[in-house]
Amino acid sequence: MKQSLQLRLGQHLTMTPQLQQAIRLLQLSTLDLQAEIQEALETNPLLEVKEDGDADAGAGEQGWEEGSGERVNGNDTLGAGDYGGDTPAEDLAPAAQSQDSSVDMQDPGMPEDLPVDSNWDDVYDSVLPATSPAGPAGDDDYRAYENQSGGEESLQQHLHWQMNLTPFSDTDRLIAEALIDSINDDGYLSSSLEEILQGLGMDEDVGFEEMEAVLHQVQNFDPIGVGARDLRECLLLQLRQFDAAHQDVADAITLVDKHLDLLGNRDYNQLMRRMKLSREALQQAIAVVQTVNPRPGGVIASAPAEYIVPDVNVKKHKGTWRVELNFEAVPQLKVNTHYAGLIRRADSSADNTYLRNQLQEARWFIKSLASRNETLLKVASAIVERQRGFLEHGEEAMKALVLNDIAEELGMHESTISRVTTRKYMHTPRGIFELKYFFSSHVSTAAGGACSSTAIRALIKKLIAAENQAKPLSDSKIAKILEEEGINVARRTVAKYREALSIPPSNERKRLI
C-alpha cells in the first residue's frame, strides 16, 4: 500500500478556556458570581478591587431607556473594557485562536473582539450611577447578602430546653428525649409509641401508661399542640386551652372531636343536623377552630430567610421605563498597576512569565465580566420592551413570550438567552422576578391572537377571588367564562393552572356563609 502526505484545510469550533470562562460566568447567579470574583481575587495577584476615588473611574450610568433602542450612559464614552452603543448583537465572545494551525469558527454566543487584548485597558469600569458608590466601601456593603441569621433555634432544641426545666425522673427523661427526637418539623409525632418504646430497649416494667404520661407532659410544652399523633389530637390540644364554658368553644371541641371528617368535606348541612346547631352557631364554632394552628411546629422550625440580589433594576422615569444593571451587587475590578509595572518585555524568567500569564488571565476575567453585563442588559431591556403591559397593568397584561423571540430580536443563540435568564432577577415596581418568569406559553384566542399562560393564571385567580364562596366556581365553569371572553382553554388546563397557583378545587373552597 502506497503512503502519501496530504494537506487539508477545514474549520471546526474550538472551546478555548477563555470562551468556557465567559460562558460559565454568564450562567452564574449573582451570589455565585460574587464567590467566583472573590476566588479570582485570592488566586490572581494582578486583580484587585477598584476603590472609591480611583482616577480611572468612569462615573457614568449604564442602562436602557424605553423608546431609545439603545443604552443610556452618563458620560459620552463608556468606561474601559465596556462596549459602545454600536456594538454588534453577538452573544458573548468568539472562540480564541487555538495553539494549533486549525481555523476556528466563531461561536454564535460570543462577540468578535473578546480574544483581542491589544486595545484593552487595565480597568473594568462598571459605570455606576453617580449616586452610587464606586465600589464596596466596606465589608458591610460587599457582604450584604450574608446579612442573614444562621443560628435559628430548631424545634427540637426548643423542646429540649423546656425538658431540661421539667422535673423528670431519669427514666422519664430518656422517654421524653426519645419522644422529642421523633417529632417532625410540623410538630407531629412521626413514630408510634410502640416503635419508640422498642427503640429505647428498656425493661418490661416501662409500659405504655408511662409513655402516655410523659407524652402528655411534652404536649404541654410550647408551642401548644406539639407532639400530637394526628390532626384531631393537635387541634384538640389547642382548643382545650380555651375556656370551655363559652358555648362556641364547646361546640368547636365537639366539632373537631366528633365530626372532623364532615368539617373537612365542608358538609355544613349535615353538621347542622348532627350537632343541632343553627347556621350562625356553626359559623362561630368554625371560626374558633380556624384560630388554632394545624402545624404548630412551623412556628419554631421555620426555614431561614433566603435573600435575592436583583441583577437588574427597572423603574419608570419621566413616563418611560428604564433598565439599569445593579452594579452594587458585585465589586468592580481592575488590574494591579504595581504588579503590572514589574513585567518586562524581553524577560523570560519564571517570575516574569508568571506575572505575564496572570495579567492575561486578569484581562480575560475583566472582559468576561463586561461581556456578561452587556449581554444581561440587552436581554433584560428586550424583555421589558415586550412586557411593558405587565409593568403597567399587572399579570393579566402579560404577553406570550418564548426564548426564541428574544434570541431572534438580539441575534443571539437561544441557549445564550436561557443562560442569561436562569437565576437572574429583575427588580420592578411590582416585585422581584426571575427573568424566566416573563416567558410563558400561549393559548389561542377567538380573535386569532394569543394569550400567555401567565395572564390566564391571573384571570383564574381573579375569578376565584371574586366567586361566591357558598357556591365556588368549578373548573368547567371557569373554562366557560374564559371562553366567553375569547380565550379557548380546556377544563383540564384550568385545573393545571389552578393547581400551579396552589388553589384547592371547588369542593374544598366552599364556605359557610
Q: Determine which of 28-42, 181-195, 197-211, 261-275 has the lowest per-residue pLDDT on average.
A: 197-211
Q: Identify whether residues 294 and 198 lie together within a single domain.
A: yes
187-198: burial string, b at 16+ Cβ within 10 Å, e else: bbbebebeebbe
Q: Identify whether residues 184 and 239 lie together within a single domain.
A: yes
Element (H, E) at 217: helix 208-219
Distance separating alpha carbons of residues 287 and 278, to the nearest angstrom: 14
**DSSP calls for 416-476:** HHHHHHTT-EEEETTEEEEGGGG-B-EEEBTTS-EEEHHHHHHHHHHHHHTS-TTSPPPHH
Q: Identify whether residues 396 and 432 lie together within a single domain.
A: yes
pLDDT tens readout for residues 51-73: 765 654 333 346 667 655 545 44
Q: Is residue 11 part of a domain?
A: no
Q: Output the nine-digit C-alpha cell for 196.
A: 419508640
pLDDT tens readout for residues 409-425: 999 999 999 999 999 99
CA 357 to chain centre: 38
- The span from the first CA to the last CA of the chain, in angstroms, equals 96
Q: Identify whether residues 169 and 41 lie together within a single domain.
A: no
Q: Identify whether residues 138 and 170 lie together within a single domain.
A: no
Percentage of residues in the chain having pLDDT higher than 90: 52
Q: Is the pLDDT of residue 2 over 80?
A: no
Q: Identify whether residues 431 and 357 lie together within a single domain.
A: no
| pLDDT, position 152 | 67
Q: Determine which of 119-128, 294-303, 358-367 has the lowest per-residue pLDDT on average.
A: 119-128
The predicted model gives 356-384 an average pLDDT of 93
**Cβ contact 439:390 at 8 Å:** no
Q: Identify whether residues 392 and 468 lie together within a single domain.
A: yes
| pLDDT, position 448 | 64
3-state SS assignment for residue 277: coil
Q: Which domain holds residue 492?
A: 386-509
Distance separating alpha carbons of residues 314 and 62, to the nearest angstrom: 12
Residue carrying the nine cell digits 468606561: 79
pLDDT tens readout for residues 455-513: 999 999 999 999 998 899 999 999 999 988 888 888 999 999 999 899 999 988 888 76
Q: Determine which of 113-117, 352-356, 370-374 has the lowest per-residue pLDDT on average.
A: 113-117
Q: Determine which of 183-197, 339-353, 439-453 has the lowest per-residue pLDDT on average.
A: 439-453
Q: Identify whether residues 350 and 485 lie together within a single domain.
A: no
| pLDDT, position 62 | 60
Q: Is residue 25 part of a domain?
A: no
pLDDT tens readout for residues 300-328: 866 666 778 899 999 998 889 999 999 88
Q: Identify whether residues 353 and 489 lie together within a single domain.
A: no
**CA distances (Å), 252 to each of 247, 255, 287, in order?**
8, 5, 8
Q: Is residue 480 part of a domain?
A: yes
Instruction: Give the CATH number of the domain where residue 417 resides.
Output: 1.10.10.60
Examine the fold and report which residue of 299, 327, 348 is the final residue of a domain before the chain moves on: 299
* Cα atoms found within 13 Å of the Cα of residue 46, Cβ hemisphere only: 23
Q: Is residue 70 part of a domain?
A: yes
pLDDT tens readout for residues 221-278: 999 999 999 999 999 999 999 998 999 999 999 999 999 999 988 899 999 999 999 9
Examine the fold and report which residue of 299, 320, 348 is the final residue of a domain before the chain moves on: 299
503 Cβ contact list (under 8 Å, min separation 6):
460, 461, 464, 509
Residue type (1 letter), 301: A
The predicted model gives 136-161 an average pLDDT of 61
Q: Is residue 22 part of a domain?
A: no
Beta strands 11-12; 103-104: pairing state = parallel
Q: Determine which of 251-260, 286-295, 340-349 has the lowest per-residue pLDDT on average.
A: 340-349
| pLDDT, position 138 | 44
Q: Determine which of 121-135, 274-288, 350-364, 433-447 has the lowest per-residue pLDDT on average.
A: 121-135
Q: Is residue 501 part of a domain?
A: yes
Q: Is the pLDDT of residue 280 over 90?
A: yes
| pLDDT, position 307 | 79
Q: Is the pLDDT of residue 288 over 70?
A: yes
Q: Is the pLDDT of residue 95 over 70?
A: no
Q: Is residue 307 part of a domain?
A: no
| pLDDT, position 203 | 58
Examine the fold and report which residue of 244, 271, 299 is the final residue of a domain before the chain moves on: 299
Domain count, the chain: 3
Taking Cα atoms as reference points, which of 21, 54, 15 lies closest to residue 40?
21
Q: Identify whether residues 132 and 172 lie together within a single domain.
A: no
Q: Identify whether residues 281 and 159 lie together within a single domain.
A: yes
Q: Identify whether residues 176 and 285 lie together within a single domain.
A: yes
Q: Determine which of 117-121, 185-189, 217-221 has the lowest per-residue pLDDT on average.
A: 117-121
DSSP code for 184:
-
| pLDDT, position 58 | 37
